[in-house]
Structure 1
């Protein structure tokens, strides 16, 4: 996952815990999850829209 090991992830989590506190951290995780879900949905809809707009070009044999 992005070239991060367990130690790096624990350090990042500890820093976030110090900055935001234990009460706010779950809210931030929830917001991040919703953001990622929305981004993936937007990308998927964009891909579906592009594939439906592109006409299928028939392949001809040489």
Structure 2
């Protein structure tokens, strides 16, 4: 009842590939990668804007 071994994960991976097909999994992976990339770009924009606001604001 402990954690799953590498063999359990390989069996699950094979079953998922059989159910969804490799093309569909590739598409989902690409979409997920694009979403992560967009999220990182959004974070960089917010950080840049925050740094610019701090640089412009007068220090007390």
Name the TM-score class by shorter chain: 0.5 to 0.7
Structure 2: which 5+ residue stretches go unaligned? Answer: 1-5
- Once the two structures are superposed, residues 3-44 of structure 1 have per-residue CA deviations (whole angstroms, 9 ceiling, x without a partner) of xxxx39x82770542442222011011001100000000000
Name the counterpart of 1:11.
9
Alignment of 1:1-62 (within 5 A): 7=6, 11=9, 14=13, 16-54=16-54, 55=57, 57=59
- Report the aligned-residue RMSD: 2.8
When the two structures are superposed, what TM-score results if normalisation uses the length of structure 2?
0.63
Distance in structure 2 (CA, Å) of the matches to 1:47 and 1:38: 14
Match of 1:26, SS?
Answer: helix
Structure 1: which 5+ residue stretches go unaligned? Answer: 1-6
Higher helix proportion, which one? 2
